[in-house]
A and B are shown apart, each in its own frame.
Chain A
């Protein structure tokens, strides 16, 4: 008997599974660029990428629908089990998270347009730049971990999400200080608040993607669990080799 289990008996099944994975990766790449551009628009004060971001959000939505349909097709036609089932479910969930990230990037772009040229007013610029860079890394880290079935990489992303959350709290306090000092800046500050909030949400979605990596690899559903719990369950003694 052939003992190489990397391939299904059905070549088409292999192709189909590979297709949803690569389509998800492509969508991830697009979303990641959207976020990076949005952060760039905010921090540089150059609003020109913002229009582009808003336009491309439609592409992201279309990709989500298309990939979701492919997942449904596989579920219907192949009745996948075990790792295949987990892969399809995870892709379907990840795609939804990516779409939300896309939404958040669009929101940032809107706010960038609203703030307009006055972006360099200085509120929390540091925090936005830092957090933006962080979540971009998280998205790519999560997608990499997914591609490589890398549980440790995924846990690393979750760890980063903690940092982003801390920075978000710090930035909020800073913002409140500004608003109390100068009530005229409240309008501006609220825009900044929404932007910070969007970035923080992107971090959360990246964390969700990482959780799906753990689900795909080890079968453990680690949503809504703490980091230590996650680490424990992602590495059971006899994790399924794949």
Chain B
């Protein structure tokens, strides 16, 4: 008897070592996979941040410009239209030639290309904002051309000329020395719409487009999704018909998103004649894409409400609707909202279906309403990543950083909302 007990214990002991080893191994696998994931994340972030953070700085030239009213043909009493129409470009070119001290024909041209093509508008806007400067001096930080920007931010440190000529570098170096050429926070990136010129291109249009699209998506998909989830879970009779609907919803969640784009193109634009390239049609398409996610997560949230609560309500003589609206829905709402926000976050990052409904168009103006032509952040990223200019590569990463920031904010909101709503009980 004792012998047998001993051997049993010995067996257990032996198997324990084996078990412990297996557990250690399993834990090691887990740690490894998480480490791998973290590594990927770090690589991704460092890559994007490394490339994109410089987007948020912009090279400018601080100038003290004499606004010669006579040369421009305007006075302080001139109308807005007259002031707008004045030739600031020549003014700026002349100023730059003087500042660079360029005399030769080539040098004069080179000096003129140092500043952004948007710089004259900058002067115009400043003059329009304050007509008192006409005939006087205007202190202004002029946006430099993207080649200068790139040279200043990247090539100068490693002694490369970038795309600049020797003369230009000479001038720039002297301006750096006297402190007039420096970088500042890149507000242009946030207040401008898209542009062919990288130094003038911004994401405000894309952000506005994304927000409007999300608004449409949310306003449509949340009520429809929640209503559908409640109906399917609480009211629908269990028959072949609802089964088919259920299977279809589950399948829709797995449909490639570009298919929804095609559907949107055919139905919303082709059949109902909704305007292309607008947040409205984009929102409609994204609604189609988000609905399955919201319905499925909504149903899961409803299912998670303990049946005992339903029974309690029914047992007291609550009608089905009272039961749903008084008890089930309040308990399921946090889950539904989380599902919705996750669906929205997914929609926010979606590109493919929007390409199909024309939201890939080059839109300079910032959209103000859901029927204005617009693009969205991910599409903007896609567009920029396709551009040859080096400065656009930088902006692509910058826009990605902004998009990621939005997603993080949304997910945090989801977590916060869930906590807050749940904490009530």
Touch between chains A and B, by CB atoms below 8 Å: no
